[in-house]
Amino acid sequence: MVKHLILLLLIGLAWGYKYESNEINTEEKEILNKHNLSIGMLDDKTGISLIGYTYNVKQTRFDEYFIGVGTMIMAFTGTVGWKHYYKKSRLSISSTFCGQYVAHLGFMGFMPTASLNLEYDLLDWVQIKLGGIGLVLLGGTSSEAGSDIGVLPFAGLSFRF
């Protein structure tokens, strides 16, 4: 399990890495909030979690490349992904694509997800998030190893700091 999480972390870092000169774009200077804490029923970035934390490795005005972890009491997820905003304002529309590793009692497996999100800014650092998440659970280590496909709604609060 640790090897898989390290592999996901390295893939995420390599995916979001881009050579930058010493000159910083003024648009990117304005982006300060790289940490996200989400609380709610499921999440676009951390999948099947009640509480999730993500760190934006690379961030532009309309894109976020992130790594993170989440928990749903007995299940834990490690995630690497990309979030793209189609409209960014007080009411934003975005999509998120992730590769997640899920560990649960007696089960471990890979779960790619895709979601469509609607986000409303209550404050500069607090958002209400609603949307749908599509997931594919691939293989695993349980006796019921196989694939499952599903689409689930999610709702929650997100805190940026």
CATH number at residue 79: 2.40.160
Total number of domains constituting the chain = 1
For 42, the domain range is 2-13+30-160
Please indicate, yes or no, if residue 20 is contained in any of the structural domains.
no
Please indicate, yes or no, if residue 21 is contained in any of the structural domains.
no
Kindly report which listed range (97-101, 102-106, 129-133) carries the lowest average pLDDT score: 102-106
Please indicate, yes or no, if residue 48 is contained in any of the structural domains.
yes
Report field, pTM of the whole predicted structure over 0.75: yes
Q: Convert the pLDDT of each residue in 44-93 to its tens digit.
A: 999 889 999 999 999 999 999 999 999 988 889 999 999 999 999 999 99
Q: Can you tell me the distance from the alpha carbon of 139 to that of 23, in angstroms, rounded to the nearest whole number?
A: 46
With a cut of 90, say whether residue 109 has pLDDT above it: no
Question: What is the pLDDT at residue 30?
Answer: 44
Please indicate, yes or no, if residue 40 is contained in any of the structural domains.
yes
